[in-house]
Chain A
C-alpha cells in the first residue's frame, strides 16, 4: 500500500483528535479546530473528511450509547490509528523540510 498524503484539513482533523487525549467525540474535534483556526469548519466537509480518513484507515471509531441530551442517538469516539500517526509524521517531516531556511521571508515580523 502506497503512502498516504494528507490534505491540510485532514491534518487538522487528525491533530485535533490527538490534542483531545487521542480519543475524541466529533463535537470536541470540531471545537478544537475552530479554536485553533479561528473559524468553524463546514459541518458537511468535517464529517465527510472523517469518513474519508476512516476509509484510508487513518482513524477508527467506536460508538457509545447516547444520553437524553442527544435524544438517545449514539455517538462516535474517534482515535488515530498507528497508520494515521505514521501519515502525520511523514507529513510533518516533509513540511519541516520545506519550511527550513525560509524564516527570512516568512518569519513573523
Chain B
C-alpha cells in the first residue's frame, strides 16, 4: 500500500528541511510497512503537523524562548502580517478588494442556491413528498395540474401514496365594515398540511371533515396576514371573518415556514372540497401526497402512470391522450430551467472564487518574490520554514478576513438590488443569515491556505545563497511558469463563465424578441371583481362592469375601453379540452386543447391583435368565436379552413359551442420560451364576475387617477386591483428572467476583470524581469516593434491556451444547459466568436501597457544595471 500522497505533500512542507525532516518521514514510512493503514498514516501526519506548526524547535529556540505559548507566537505573527500589509498598501488593497468582490458575488450565488436547495421547500422530509404533472399528447402543456374527479380517483385507487391532497389559489372578497377587499386565498384539502408536514404556529390546522360541503366554515390565517392585520394577537383565534356572505371562524395561524414562493401569497387558507361532479378537464389543482412507508418513488410513479392510463381509457373525452407523471416535490418549485439556473449560479460562484484565488495567489507570489531576500535573511538567521509558512498563512488569513468582512456589505447590496428590480416573492425572501455567514467564513479560511501554499515552494527554497547573492530576482523562470499556469487557468475560467452567460443572454433575448402579438404601448390595465357578497345577482355584477366601462370610456384622453376575463400573457388560465365540429376524438387520442379567453367584441382591436381571416364577432353575439392562427393551423389545417367551423367545450356543467367567425394573430405564451398557445376568443361568458379592463389612451399613465375615481364612484365596495400600464406589467414579468442574466453578467464581468488584472500582472512582472535582456536586444539592434512583438507573443500564448481550454469548457457547460437554450446552440459560432473577440480585446489592452513600457526601455540604462 502506498502512503497517501497528500499527507506526504503536507509533511514535506511542515517538517524541518534537510536530513532532519527526511529522516522523520523515513521513520514514518518504515513504520507504515507494519501499520499498512491510510487512516493511521493520516493520524500520524496530523500529529506531526500540529506539533511542528505550533511549536518551534531547535534553531528557532535560539531566537524565541522555548516556552513561548502559541498565542504569543500568533500575536507576533499577526503583528508581522499587519506590518507587511502596511508596507505594501497597493498590493494589499488590490488583494482585499479582489477577495471582497469575489466572495461577495459568491455569497449572492450561494444565497440563491441555499434558498432553493436547502431551505426553500416548506416541506418536511421532502424526499418522500411527491406531486403529479399531467400532460396532453400535444406537449403544449407538459406541466398541467389535476382535476378534482381525477384526484378522487387517485385516492380511491392508489396503494402507494398517502395524504393525497389538492390545493389551488384563488381570490376571495373579505367584507369589513361594508367594504369589500380582495384577499388571496389558498384552498386546500384538510390533508394538505399533513402531506407537507406543516403545522400551525397558533391554534390548529384543518381537521378531517372540515373540507366537505356543509361543514362549519373555518379559516386558517397566513402568518404574515395575522402579523400585519391582526398585530399577532392570540385572541384572533375564535373570531370570525366575513368572506363573501359566509362567516368563517378563525381556528389557526399557519407557521411562517410555509411562506415560500407561491405559497407566500395566500392571506388566508380555506378548506377545499373536492367534488366528483366537477368537469374532469378542469385541471386546476396542485397535487401533493406522501409516499407510503417502504414504497419507492419508482413504484409509486409506475402505479400513478397506470392509474392515469386507466382514467384515459375510462374518460376518453376529457382524459384521452393525457398522461400522468409523478414528480418529486422539488420539481414543482420552479420551471424546467430553474435547476439549470441554480447549477449555473453554483458554477459561476465556484469559477469566480477560483479566479479570485488564482489572482491573489499571483499577487502574493509577486510579493513573496520581492520579499525573497527578507525571507532568505530570516532563514539564515534561523527562522524555520514552517514558521515562515505559518506567517504566510496568518498573512493570508488576515487578507481574506478583511476581504470577507467587506464582502458582506457587497453581497447585501447585491441582494437588495436584485430584490429591488424583481418583485417575485422568492427574491424578497433571499437573505444573508447564518448559512451565508458560515459560507463566507469557510471561504475566508480556505482561500488563504490555497494561496499561501502556492508560494510555499518559494519560502522553502533551500538555496539561500543564490537568493542572497543575486542582485535582482532573476533566474525565476520556474516561478514564472507557475504564475503563467495560473493566468492560463484564470483566462480559461473566465471564458467558461463568459460563454455560459452569452448563451443565457442570447436565449432570453431570443425569447423576448419573439413577437408578443399585441400592442403594449398606450394601454392601461386594471381588474375589478364584482363578487357575490356585494353583487348577489350576477346580472347586477355585469351591469356594474358595463357601467364602469362606459364611465372610463368617457374620461378625457381615453380612446377605447374593453374587458377580458383574463389578460393574455399575464393572466392566462390553463388549457381547456375542446371538440371540433362535434367530432369526438378516437379512443386513446388526445383531445385538442386551447386557452379560452372571454372578451368584449372590441377587445382584440383595443389589444391590437391583428385579424388574419374572417371578422370579429359583433356586439351582442353570444355564439361567435375567433381563434388564433396557431389553433387554426394545428386543428383545422390552415387559417382559411377554420372560418365557419365550430368548437365546443365544457363550461361548468354544460357544454357550450361556438361558431368560428374569424382567425386572429397569435399572442405569446406566458412562458416566453414556449410557442404561442392555441387560443379561442369567445364573448364574455354571462357568469363572469372578474373583469380585466384594458384602456387605450394617448398617455395611459395620465388616466390612471381618473380610472381610480371612476371605479370608486361606480363600484364603491370593490377594490381596484393591479392598476398599471401594460408596459409596466410586461416589464415586471420580464424582470425575473432578466435578473438571472444580470446576475450572471455581473459574475462574468467580475471574472473578466480579475483575469485581465492577473494577465496584466504577469506580463508586466515578466517585462520588469526581462529588462536587461530586452535592453541587450535593443542595444544589438532590435527595433521597438520587435520588442513589442516579443512581449505580445508571450501574452498571446497565454491567452490562446486559456481561450482554447475555456471554450471547450464553455461548450461543455452549454450542452449541460441545453434545456434552457433557445434560438442558439452550445456550438453557436457567433456566440463563441464574440466571447473570443471580447476576451482578446480586453487581454490585448492588458498587454499593451507592459509592451509599450518594454519598447521604451533605454538600452543604456538597462545595461548599466548589468
Residues of A within 8 A of B (CB): 25-27, 42-45, 47-48, 51-52, 54-55, 63, 66, 69-71, 73-76
Is there an interface contact between B51 and A74, defined as CB atoms closer than 8 Å? no
Q: Contact: B50 with A63, CB < 8 Å?
A: no
Bound Cα distance A75, B23 (Å): 5
A66 vs B30: C-alpha distance when bound (angstroms):
10
Residues A55 and B58 in contact in the complex (CB < 8 Å), given A44-B47, A45-B51, A76-B19: yes
A74 / chain B contacts, CB cutoff of 8 Å = 19, 22-23, 26
Q: Are B23 and A26 touching (Cβ within 8 A)?
A: yes
Chain B residues contacting A69 (CB-CB under 8 Å) are: 29-30, 33
A71 and B26 form a contact (CB under 8 A): yes
Contacts of A42 in B (CB 8 A): 47, 51
- Does any Cβ of A come within 8 Å of B295's Cβ? no
17 contacts between A and B (CB under 8 A): A26-B23, A43-B28, A43-B44, A43-B51, A44-B48, A44-B50, A48-B52, A48-B57, A51-B16, A52-B57, A55-B58, A63-B19, A71-B26, A73-B22, A73-B26, A74-B26, A75-B26
**Known interface pairs A48-B51, A73-B23. Does A54 touch B29 (Cβ–Cβ under 8 Å)?**
no
CB proximity to A under 8 Å, residues B682-732 = none
User: CB distance A43 to B29 under 8 Å?
Assistant: no
Minimum CB–CB distance for B382 against chain A, Å: 11
Contacts A52-B61, A73-B29: A43 and B47 contacting too (C-beta < 8 A)?
Answer: yes
**Majority SS at the chain A contact face:** helix
Asked if B307 is an interface residue, CB under 8 A from chain A, the answer is: no
Complex: how many Å from CA A76 to CA B22?
10
Closest to A30 in B: B27
- On chain B, the number of residues with a Cβ less than 8 Å from chain A's Cβ atoms is 28
**Across the two chains, which residue of chain A brings its CB closest to B44?**
A43
Q: Please, which residue of chain A has its CB at the minimum distance from the CB of B8?
A: A71
Q: Give bound CA distance, A63 to B26, whole Å.
A: 12
Instruction: Report which B residues bind A (CB closer than 8 A).
Output: 16, 19-20, 22-31, 33, 44, 47-52, 55, 57-59, 61-62, 66
A70, B48: Cβ atoms under 8 Å? no
Q: For residue A26, which residue of chain B has the nearest CB?
A: B27
Given contacts A52-B57, A55-B58, A55-B61, contact A47 B24 (CB under 8 A): yes
Closest to B53 in A: A44
Known: A27-B31, A44-B52. A55 touches B57 (CB 8 A): yes
Residues of A within 8 Å of B33, CB to CB, are: 69
Main DSSP-derived SS at the B contact region:
helix
B47, chain A: closest CB distance, angstroms: 4
| Distance (whole angstroms) from the CB of B2 to the closest CB of chain A | 10
Closest A residue to B25 by CB, please name it. Answer: A73
The answer to whether B47 touches A48, judged by C-beta atoms less than 8 angstroms apart, is: no
Q: Output the least CB separation between B683 and chain A (Å).
A: 87
Complex-state Cα separation, A51 to B66, whole angstroms? 12
Nearest CB on B from A57, distance (A): 10
Q: How far is the CB of B385 from chain A (nearest CB, A)?
A: 14
- Nearest 3 Cβ contacts at the A-B interface: A44-B51, A73-B26, A55-B58
- Whether the Cβ atoms of A51 and B26 lie closer than 8 Å is no
Using known A-B contacts A66-B26, A73-B29, determine if residue A51 contacts B47 with beta carbons closer than 8 Å.
no
Contacting residues, chain B, for A26 (C-beta < 8 A): 23-24, 27
A98 to B66, CA, bound (A): 27
Minimum C-beta distance from A35 to chain B (A): 15
- A47 vs B51: C-alpha distance in the bound complex, in angstroms? 9
Are B26 and A70 within 8 A (Cβ)?
yes
Is B29 within 8 A of A71, CB to CB?
A: yes
The closest CB in chain B to the CB of A54 belongs to B58
| Chain B residues with CB under 8 A of A43 | 28, 44, 47-48, 51
CB distance from A79 to the nearest CB of B (A): 15
In angstroms, how far is the closest chain A Cβ from the Cβ of B60? 9
Look across to chain B and name the residue whose beta carbon is closest to the beta carbon of A49: B57
Once the chains are docked, how many angstroms separate the CA of A71 from the CA of B30? Answer: 8
Please measure, in the bound complex, the distance between the C-alpha atom of A74 and the C-alpha atom of B51, giving whole angstroms.
22
